[in-house]
Amino acid sequence: MEQLLRQRCLAGESGDRLPSVRQLMSELAASPVTVSRALKRLEQEGLLQTQPGSGTFIAARKSTRPRLDLAWQSLVLGAAPPAAALHALVSEAAPGSIMLASGYCDPSLIPVKELSKAARRALGSGSGWGRAPLSGLPELRAWFARGVGPDYSDEDVLVVQGGQAAIHTVFRAVTKPGGSLLVESPTYVGAIEVARALGVELVPVPCDALGVVPEFLERAFEQSRAPAFYCQPLHQNPTGSVLALERRGEVLDIARRHTAFVIEDDYARGLTYGGAAPHTLASQGPGQVIYIRSLTKCLAASLRVAAICGKGPVLERVAAARVLEDFFVPRLLQETALGLVTSRAFERHLARLGRVLQERMQTLQEALAARLPEWRPVVQPSGGFHLWLELPPGMSAEDLSQRAARLGVRINAGSGWFPAEPPGQYVRISIAGATSEEIRQGVERLALAGGGS
Ligand SMILES: Cc1ncc(COP(=O)(O)O)c(C=O)c1O
C-alpha cells in the first residue's frame, strides 16, 4: 500500500494535492492507521508535505544531481567581482516591492502596439535575419545624424547595441590602462564601472545645479592631462541637471585648449517634460565631441539600439574597438527601430512620455514635501527619470535604502554615483518604473523607513 502511494507521489507533479485520508482508505482498501503511517513515512522521505488546514501535497523534488565542487573558481578568479555596483543597479526589484530605482520605463510607458507594428513590418521585409552593415543601416545612421546636428551625416555614425555598450566601446577607444578620464561628480555608475574595469583613473570634476563648473574642469585637465571628459549635458543621471547654455561654449573651449575630447552621453534625449530640449553639445563642437545616444530609455529597454557619432580618425578607432566584441546590431532590431523612429507615432509617444513623467515627478515632489520635507532636492529636474536628494545630517543613505527595501520600496543610495569619496549623504529616487499611485505609496513607506512624520 505504501509502495502504491510512493509511486503515485513520484508520478505526480509537485504541488498536486493528495486525496483525503478517507478517500485513500477506500481507494487503497486500507485502515486509517495504515494510511496515516504511510503518509507520515513519505513525508519523512521528503516526498510529501502537509499543510495543516489545507491538505497533503506532493513536495518539490530535490535535485538528484551531485553537488559540484566549485571552490577552486575563487582561487582562479581572485578578489572582488568587477562591476558589482552596476550589477546591483540593473537587477530587478523583488516581486511586490515598489520600484523607485528603475532606469527603464514600466510597461505602461512602452509603445507596445507601435513597436509590434514596426517589428511585424521588419519581419515581413524578409531581410531581417540577414547580416547588417558593420556600421548600421544607412537610413538609421542618417536618422541619428539628423538628431545630432546639421554638420553630421550617416557617415559619422556607428550603430551599437545600447548606451552601455557605447560607453564601453568609446572608453576603450579613447583611454589607456593607467591613464585618466575626467567625469562629472556625481556621474552614472555604469560609466564609473567601465572606466575602473579598464584600469582608467577617474578624475571627478565638481558640478552644481547648472552642470559642470568650468574652472574646476580647467584645473582637472591641467592636473591630469586626461584625453577626454565624459558628461551628460541633458537631464544628468543622477542629478537631473542640464548643462547651462552659457557654460557650453566654455566647456568645449577648455577641452580644445587641452587637446581633449568631450564624450557627450545624451541618454535622456526624448525625456524632456515640456518644450524643446537644448541642442546637443556635439552640434556646437563637431570633431571635438564623441556623441552617444540610445533608444532604450525613451522607447523600450529591449530596443537595444544606440549610436556613437564622431568625426575623423576617432570614429575609425571606435569602430575598430567595437568589432572586437560585437560585429553589428541584429538587423531585425535596427529595421524595427528605424520603422518606429521615422513614423508619426514616435513624436506622439514622446509627447505622452514627457507628460506622464512630468506628472510622476510632480507627484513625487509633492509627496516628499508633505512627508519628508527635510530631504532636499538638489536640482529641480526639467526632464528625465531621477530626483537626487540630499538627506538631513546624520542620516545614512545606505541604512535608509536597506530599511526601505525591507519595507517593500527600492531606492538607490547615492554613494555608487561618486567616482571618489561622496561629499555627503544622497539618495536617487526614480519615477520611470512606478505609477503616480505607487510613487505616493512608496513615499509613505519611505517616511516609515526614514522616520518622517
Ligand atoms: C547615463 C546613462 N547612460 C547610459 C545608460 C545605458 O543605457 P542602455 O544601455 O540601456 O542604453 C544608462 C542606463 O541607465 C544611463 O543612465
Rounded to an integer, what distance in angstroms lies between the CA atom of residue 355 and that of residue 365? Answer: 15
- Residue 267 Cα, ligand 1 centroid: separation in angstroms? 6
Percent share of the chain, pLDDT over 70: 97
Question: Do 48 and 121 fall into the same domain?
Answer: no
On whether residue 69 sits in a domain, the answer given is: no
Whose alpha carbon is nearest atom 13 of ligand 1?
Answer: 103
Among 19, 35, 58, the domain boundary falls at: 58
Q: Which three cell numbers mark 98?
A: 515598489
Q: Could you tell me the distance, in angstroms and rounded to a whole number, from the CA of residue 301 to the centre of ligand 1?
A: 10
The answer on 258 and 175 residing in a single domain is: yes
> Do 158 and 197 sit in the same domain of this protein?
yes
- Positive or negative, the CA dihedral 370, 376, 382, 387 is negative
What digits encode the pLDDT tens for the residues 401-439? 999 999 999 999 999 999 988 888 999 999 999 999 999
**Structural domains of the chain, count:** 3
Q: How far apart are CA 287 and CA 307, in angstroms?
A: 16
pLDDT digits (tens, 9 = 90+) for 274-301: 888 999 999 999 999 999 999 999 999 9
In this structure, the answer to whether residues 338 and 291 fall within a common structural domain is yes
Cα separation, 157 vs 136, whole angstroms: 8
Question: Is residue 81 included in any domain, yes or no?
Answer: no
Q: Is residue 68 part of a domain?
A: no
Co-location of 391 and 418 in the same domain:
yes
Range of the domain at 369: 89-109+346-450
* Last residue in a domain, options 296, 314, 343: 343
* Distance from Cα 219 to the centre of ligand 1, integer Å: 28
Same domain membership, residue 119 and residue 233: yes
Rounded distance from Cα 396 to ligand 1 centre (Å): 26
Which pLDDT does position 62 carry in this prediction? 67
Q: What is the pLDDT of residues 301-345, one digit of tens each?
A: 999 999 999 999 999 999 999 999 899 999 999 999 999 999 999
Q: Does ligand 1 lie within 6 Å of residue 237's CB atom?
A: yes
CATH code of 29's domain: 1.10.10.10
Torsion of CA 365, 101, 347, 134, to 10 degrees: 150
The predicted pLDDT at position 452 comes to: 53
DSSP strand E in 322-441: where?
376-377, 386-390, 409-410, 412-413, 426-430
Indicate which atom in ligand 1 lies nearest the CA of residue 90: 14
How many Å apart are CA 317 and CA 321, to the nearest integer?
Answer: 6
Rounded Cα gap, residues 367 and 395, in angstroms: 20
Specify whether 322 is located in the same domain as 437: no
* Ligand 1 near 415 CB (within 6 A): no
Q: pLDDT digit string (tens) for 128-170?
A: 899 999 999 999 999 999 999 999 999 999 999 999 999 999 9
Q: Are residues 277 and 392 in the same domain?
A: no
The finding on whether 294 has its CB within 6 A of some atom of ligand 1 is yes
The pTM of the full predicted model, rounded to 2 decimals, is: 0.85
Phi and psi at residue 79, in whole multiples of 5°?
-75, 175
Pocket test for ligand 1, best of 160, 294, 428 (most atoms within 8 A of CB): 294
CATH of the domain at 211: 3.40.640.10
